[in-house]
Amino acid sequence: MAIKIGILGAASYVAGELIKILLLHPQTEITYLESETFAGQNITLAHSFLRGLCNLSCEKYNKDAVLSRCELLFICKSHGESMGYVVDLQDSNLRIVDLSADFRLKDAQIYQKWYGKNHLLPQALAHAVYGLAEINSGQIKQTSLIANPGCYPTSVILACAPLIQAGVVNSQAIAVNAFSGLSGAGKTPKAGFNLFIDAFANIKPYRAGAHAHQPEIEQELQNFSQQKVQVSFIPHIVPIERGIISNIVLNANRTLSNEQIAEIYQEFYAGQPFIQIYHPPQMPQISDVAGTNFCALGWYYDQRTNLLTVISMLDNVLKGAAGQAVQCMNIMYDFPQTLGLPWGKLL
């Protein structure tokens, strides 16, 4: 009865989280774990915290095995690599949630520009659904290919979409300074970047204006709002394991009040289980979203300057990756969105 789940790239950081969630999810059974590096070995060698909890072995990739043993496949491969598997599996009725960036950008040329690779399946870009549950749940229900959103874009889009739709901010000059914990950098060493001695007690901006999440943010906000959106985007590394804070500076189009802003968010997110709205002077903090599937939104509006600064926080591994992927799965199968994600910060 349980949904049979396969995971490609099972040794990756995000796959570890996905496995933990799926093991406790009442409607799923993990039937296939693929890892090139750990093929033939127990998954606990890749994720020692699964010791005593999961006894599955990893396998090499095998198309037949995937198709015969899985209903739903989560792909946790890196950008550029993921699409190859989708190509290989395209003539099947397998459902796929791709956690890479390969099917997020709708324009193969933009993909090529930002990721430096030719897209292998441009014809799929149009019908792949951007899996941001709070915005696209209708389409998520219908599709068999989900492009799971990026971590930074999730935090920024959820903060901006209601305001742009309400027409109260200038969508063409949005300044985002976003700060991510190191789990966002995955398990691959990058010189001077994600070693403990590089990141500890440090904060470091990187790839200002050159991070591929920028066109993703702009595309989705534009598609949603039908307005031109331009974002100046600077990501930073902060010395925590999990969590993103996006500080988003917007120019209000007219004088606002905190009550008006609160109303815009409350209406937009009415009934959404994973959005938490903080009213000034209350503000979220990372420790309350880390380990959860929440996105928490707070803001400060300065009446003198008409500057509205929205502060958006989430756990990059959960709401920004594995949690959101399960949320999408829940929607695809008509489960409650919170199934298996009771709230997050369980223990």
Catalytic residue IDs: 151
DSSP element (H, E) containing 110: helix 108-115
Q: Give the whole-angstrom CA distance, residue 44 versus residue 46.
A: 5
Instruction: Say if residues 18 and 7 touch (Cβ distance below 8 Å).
Output: yes
Please tell me whether residue 325 binds its own copies under the rule CB under 8 A: no
Binding its own copies (rule: CB under 8 A), the pick from 144, 177, 258, 260 is 177
Which DSSP letter does residue 300 get?
E
Cα gap 291→68, rounded to integer Å: 34
Which listed residue (88, 109, 167, 208) binds its own copies by CB under 8 A? 208
- 187 contacts its own copies (rule: CB under 8 A): yes
DSSP classification of residue 254: S
Out of 26, 138, 271, 281, the residue judged to bind its own copies by CB under 8 A: 281
Q: Using the rule CB under 8 A, is 194 a contact of its own copies?
A: yes
Nearer to its own copies, 93 or 254 (CB): 254
| Residue 19 · residue 47 · CB < 8 Å | yes
Q: Which stretch binds its own copies (CB under 8 A): 87-95, 96-104, 156-164, 229-237?
A: 229-237
Contact call for residues 212 and 153 (beta carbons, < 8 A): no
Site for its own copies in 240-269 (CB under 8 A): 240-243, 245, 247, 249, 251
Q: Which stretch binds its own copies (CB under 8 A): 28-36, 94-102, 128-136, 235-243?
A: 235-243
**Applying CB under 8 A, does 235 fall inside the site for its own copies?**
no
Q: Is 328 helix (H, G, I), strand (E, B) or coil?
A: helix
**Using CB under 8 A, which residues numbered 47 to 106 contact its own copies?**
48-49, 51-53
- Rounded to whole angstroms, how far apart are CA atoms 73 and 159? 29
199 sits near its own copies (criterion: CB under 8 A): yes
